Amino acid sequence: MMIQAAFFDLRFYVNFTMKIKHILSISLFMMALFAANICAGEAPTIYIDLSEGGSESSRQVAKLKNYLKKGQCDAVIETGFKSPVKNYDLYFFPLSPDKDWLSQTRLTFALQADTRNGVNTRGVIMVRANTNLKSLTSLKDEPISFLNRYSRLGFLDQQQMFQTADVKLSDQKNFATDNHSAAMTLLLHKDVFAAFVEASLAEQWGEANGLKVLAHGPERKVGGFYISEGVNRLDLKACLISLASINRSQRKGKSLLRLFPDWVTSFKSLESSFNK
């Protein structure tokens, strides 16, 4: 009887131990699966500032998203005209933000946006070359095309020039556009007397289309992509590599860059973005 009882106790212990191991293995598997699902759900978030131009189209957003996904960057992309009210992993700012603001937000520069004239640009006022317009005073109460009221290069800097010259613009005769090329097109079609545009595009369009620059705004540093504080650069490496491969000289790149200002030609990778 004692042997049978001991055997029964041993068998009970073995069975109980196996059940515990089985339960633990299932629990560990479920925990790993749950953790994997959480990681899979943490897609990188990207914010694109449209204040200096770029399409608001959901179709253009989808194009860039699909392109990045092919490069192993399955990102969530959102756009806007003002400073974002929530946190993102990666931000695109067309112009370099103020140094004090950058130090407060602790964003890190990752990709440099480039233009036909390099990494510095400015806003200009363009008119048709065959007109007798020689000063800002000549544009008083005349129709003007501009980008949007958030744009430095396509409105605010030019507005400051008019204020300095003590010339008041007529709000009723101004035409807002989605991009700088559209603003110049209105000028070419003689729908307006002047266009507020970015310098490198003005240079590209100017001479060939009989346009000239009437006034220059202050020089500004071109921005690019910035990484949020606390985000591991390695987690964004695939996104940064894919973005750095986009170039306006290529047909595919030209299409993808419609989401950005039309004066941006490419994004230069900063070595530190990939090595840290």
Q: What is the mean pLDDT of residues 157-170?
A: 91
Q: Do 146 and 201 lie in a common domain?
A: yes
Higher pLDDT, 36 or 46: 46
Residue 228 to residue 105: CA distance in whole angstroms: 8
Give the CA count within 13 Å in the CB-facing half-sphere of 222. 23
CB atoms within 10 A of CB 39: 8
pLDDT mean over 103-110: 89
**Domain check: are 211 and 226 in the same one?**
no
Considering 216, 233, 257, which residue would you say is the last residue of a domain?
216
Q: Are residues 51 and 114 in the same domain?
A: yes
| Predicted pLDDT of residue 115 | 93
Cα distance between residue 182 and residue 274, in whole Å: 36
Q: Does the residue 259 lie in any domain?
A: yes
pLDDT interval class at 163 (50, 70, 90)? very high
Judged against a pLDDT cut of 70, whether residue 12 lies above it is answered with no
Residue bearing the bigger pLDDT, 84 or 77: 77
Average pLDDT, stretch 49-68? 95
Residue 271's pLDDT band (boundaries 50, 70, 90)? low
Q: For residues 109 and 182, state if they share a domain.
A: no
Percent of the chain exceeding pLDDT 90 equals 63
Backbone angles phi and psi of 214, in degrees to 5: -90, -35
Looking at the predicted structure, is the pLDDT value of residue 137 above 80?
yes
- Same domain assignment for residues 261 and 151: no
Which CATH number does the domain housing residue 229 bear? 3.40.190.10
Average pLDDT over residues 97-123: 90
Find the mean pLDDT for residues 169-194: 90
Structural domain of 230: 45-119+221-275
When pLDDT is averaged across residues 45-60 and rounded to a whole number, the result is 95
pLDDT, position 272: 52
Tell me: do 50 and 20 sit in the same domain. Answer: no
Q: Does residue 228 lie within any of the structural domains?
A: yes
DSSP string for 211-236? EEEEEE---EEEEEEEEPTT--GGGG
Whether the pLDDT of residue 201 is over 70: the answer is yes
User: Do 228 and 108 fall within a single domain?
Assistant: yes
Judged against a pLDDT cut of 90, whether residue 71 lies above it is answered with yes
Average per-residue pLDDT for the chain: 84
Question: How many independent structural domains does the chain possess?
Answer: 3
Percentage of the chain modeled with pLDDT above 70? 82
Spatial neighbors of 5 by CB under 8 A, at least 6 apart, are none
Q: pLDDT band for 35, please (50, 70, 90 cuts).
A: very low
Q: What is the mean pLDDT of residues 38-45?
A: 66
Q: Would the pLDDT of 185 be above 80?
A: yes
Q: Mean pLDDT over residues 86-92, rounded?
A: 93
Say yes or no: 206 and 251 in one domain: no
64 within some domain: yes
Q: Give residue 233's pLDDT.
A: 85
Beta-ladder partners of 111? 225, 269
